[in-house]
Amino acid sequence: MSYQKRLALAAEAAVAALVVRGVPIPQAFADPGADTYTATSAGNKAALTRACGRLRVIVANSGVVISLNGGSTGHISLPANCMDDVDVPIPVGCDIRVKRYTPGTAFTGLIVEVR
């Protein structure tokens, strides 16, 4: 294979890795009223009918801890008044749950989207 062909394939692979993986799928969460993870959201799990690779989170008060395995592990933490766009594998039907980052303070303004 020629150098130009290898270079073109490498460039194509790099661009594909950076491209957003589909339309964002919003995940709806309400503050659980305690310092524990939210209950599972069947609607959110059902909405994840494709594997995703990005997680976008915006949060106001308290901050948030996000678990991608049903609350067994805190995978991503954001303090209050922050946002992040994380490259992370999210399998089909992933059980995403959230809890307060600051104990005793309800989270507000939470937006969670997977792509």
Rounded to the nearest 10°, the torsion over CA 61, 99, 74, 14 is -60
Is 75 contained in some domain? Answer: yes
User: What CATH number has the domain bearing residue 76?
Assistant: 2.60.120
- Local confidence band at 18 (pLDDT 50, 70, 90 cut-offs): low
Inside any domain, residue 89: yes
**Mean pLDDT across 70-81:** 95
Boundaries of domain holding 67: 22-114
Is 114 buried (19+), middle (13-18) or exposed (0-12) by CB count in 10 A? buried
- The reply to whether 31 falls in a domain is yes
Rounded mean pLDDT, 69-94: 94
For the stretch 103-112, pLDDT in tens is 999 999 999 9
Please write the tens of the pLDDT for every residue from 32-69: 999 999 987 777 877 888 889 999 999 999 999 999 99
User: What total of structural domains would you count in the chain?
Assistant: 1
Q: What does pTM read for this prediction?
A: 0.79
DSSP-derived secondary structure for 62-74: S-EEEESBTTSS-
Q: For 1-23, what is the mean pLDDT? A: 72
Q: What is the pLDDT of residue 40?
A: 78
The reply to whether 40 falls in a domain is yes
- Mean predicted lDDT score pLDDT of the chain: 88
| 76 has a pLDDT exceeding 90 | yes
